[in-house]
Copies of this chain bind each other. A is one copy, B any other.
């Protein structure tokens, strides 16, 4: 008889896992019967694409969907949308689900459970935070809600939080013609970069016409009959017809917690490197903690690229194959207007916090040979451990052609190279693509010299 696999959450992690489990099972001769439930309306979509959908770069939500429920069904997965898991019993092996469309509550038994419940936007714990017009941006349904709201004649948007989502949503709002204020608690926007690079982000935001308010904490939301009317901070009150929360997310693990499953300090599920939580229970994506190879610690880093990889690892193991998720090094990037920014590993601030003896260097260079048409400025900051010389982290801010260079640093972190070695690796050079020493290598060389 087939093993029943029940998937809670039909986005990247859950459906990658389900699809891979079926592929692997086919190869290993196992028989799986897969049901996936999701409380929303969409499967396997790019949540990272939502700001670009809101901005108008992407024409419709459909474009962000890699696979529809119908496509998953055609692949043999029993996908049930608008169906919310409401309880898990791992002893008895069932999940209670609420089919909102049919208005029916039922228990679905399972042999193997995949928890892929993702993450939930953090709402500031202040008065008015639940008012209408205050949007988190985590699901396609959230994105749709923002767009419906923006269809009204609005003038002023406030974005709370100047991280990845905050920046991307702020730009989207500007491009839709709103006056945008971004308020953030940090000294500079984008606190996953050191403040000395954050200043460039700050300047790029202002150049786009965004009003940037730093070192400001939200203390309340003012509301009227139609919902939110202003964001109150300790640095002033900012009128708002619409508010977007870019204040981060937390793992959506209430069910898992209630079921007594192991969670880390972030609230994320703890898995082994096969993505197994406990016998018969698996998890992947934004609801898990992930091993950070540089920090040597568990972290919560909700990113689609990890969700997809973890889902694939999970599915391979569940299907009877063998795969390991080897952890992350903390790589991320985005852009604000034409300013690209990227980071991997530890910032200087992280190194200080961790009490690591280190050197930090920053270099200015160009994306192409200095004499080549279209060359753009690039800033690379690099942090290395003293006295070993091991690369600890890198940050890049620059124009077209800058940010993806972070991948070289990510590879160096992955393999624990020293900055001296990184400076001597064989990176591609031709005048339209790089200076003769790649900017990453100029920074590595300078760090090695400093050591």
User: In the complex, what residues of B have CB within 8 A of residue A64's CB?
Assistant: 371
| A411 located at the interface, meaning its Cβ lies under 8 Å from any Cβ of chain B in the complex | yes
A325 lies within 8 A of B415 (CB): no
A421 and B373 contacting across the interface, CB-CB below 8 Å: no
Segment at the interface with B among A195-203, A254-262, A303-311, A358-366: A303-311
A427 lies within 8 A of chain B by Cβ? yes
- CB–CB B404/A405 < 8 A: yes
* Distance of A96 from chain B, by nearest CB (Å): 32
In the complex, which of the residues B164, B306, B425, B432 contacts A411, with contact meaning CB atoms closer than 8 Å? B425
Closest B residue by C-beta to A437: B308
- The CA-CA distance from A426 to B64 in the complex, in Å, is 22
Which 5 A-B pairs have CB atoms at the shortest separation, nearest pair first? Answer: A411-B411, A305-B429, A415-B415, A63-B371, A333-B428
CB nearest neighbor in B for A420: B323
Write the chain B residue with the least CB distance to A327: B426
Q: Are A331 and B408 in contact (CB under 8 A)?
A: no
Given A52-B431, A309-B424; A412-B410 close (CB under 8 Å):
no
Shortest Cβ distance from residue A424 to the other chain B in the assembled complex, whole angstroms: 5
Chain B contacts for A326, CB-based, 8 A: 421, 424-425
Nearest CB of chain B from residue A70's CB, rounded to whole Å: 19
Alpha-carbon separation in the docked complex, A98 to B329 (Å) = 57
Contacting B at CB under 8 A, from A3-46, are: 12, 46
Residue of B at shortest CB range from A326? B424
Number of copies: 2
Is A229's CB within 8 Å of the partner chain B? no
Residues of B within 8 A of A417 (CB): 415
Which residues of A (399-414) have their CB < 8 Å from a CB of B?
Answer: 401, 403-408, 410-412, 414
- Indicate with 1 or 0, residue by residue over A417-451, a CB within 8 angstroms of chain B CB atoms: 10001001111111111101110000000000000
Given that A326-B421, A404-B405, A417-B415 are known contacts, is A429 also in contact with B303, CB under 8 Å in the complex?
A: yes
Distance, CA A305 to CA B431, complexed state (A) = 11
CB-based contact B408/A428 at 8 Å: no
A370-382 CB contact bits vs B (8 Å, 1 = yes)? Answer: 0111000000000
Q: How far does the alpha carbon of A404 sit from the alpha carbon of B430 in the complex, in Å?
A: 10
List, sorted by A's number, 6 A–B pairs whose CB atoms are closer than 8 Å: A64-B371, A304-B436, A333-B430, A334-B432, A344-B426, A404-B433
Instruction: Judge whether A407 and B431 touch: CB under 8 Å.
Output: no
A275 within 8 A of B: no
A417 → B minimal CB distance (Å):
7
Interface residue ranges, A against B (CB under 8 Å): 12, 46, 48-49, 52, 57-58, 63-64, 164, 303-306, 308-309, 313, 324-335, 340, 342, 344, 369, 371-373, 401, 403-408, 410-412, 414-415, 417, 421, 424-434, 436-438
Measured CA separation A417–B417 after assembly (Å):
13
B427, A57: Cβ atoms under 8 Å? no
Given contacts A49-B371, A408-B408, 18 further A-B contacts (CB under 8 A): A12-B436, A52-B432, A303-B429, A305-B426, A309-B424, A326-B421, A328-B426, A332-B430, A333-B429, A334-B432, A335-B430, A335-B432, A335-B433, A344-B428, A405-B407, A408-B411, A410-B425, A411-B425
Tell me the nearest residue of chain B to A60, going by C-beta. Answer: B371
Q: A371-B64, A407-B407, A411-B408 are in contact. Are A305 and B424 (CB under 8 A)?
A: no
Q: Say whether B426 contacts A406, CB under 8 Å.
A: no
Closest residue of chain B to A308 (Cβ to Cβ) is B436
Contact A305 B437 (CB under 8 A): yes
Distance A341 CA – B326 CA, assembled complex (angstroms): 31
**A404–B434 CB distance below 8 A:** yes
Q: How many angstroms between the C-alpha atoms of A372 and B426 in the bound complex?
A: 31
On whether A436 and B305 interact (CB within 8 A), knowing A46-B431, A63-B371, A426-B414, the answer reads yes
Among A46, A306, A371, A433, chain B packs the most CB atoms within 10 A around the CB of: A371
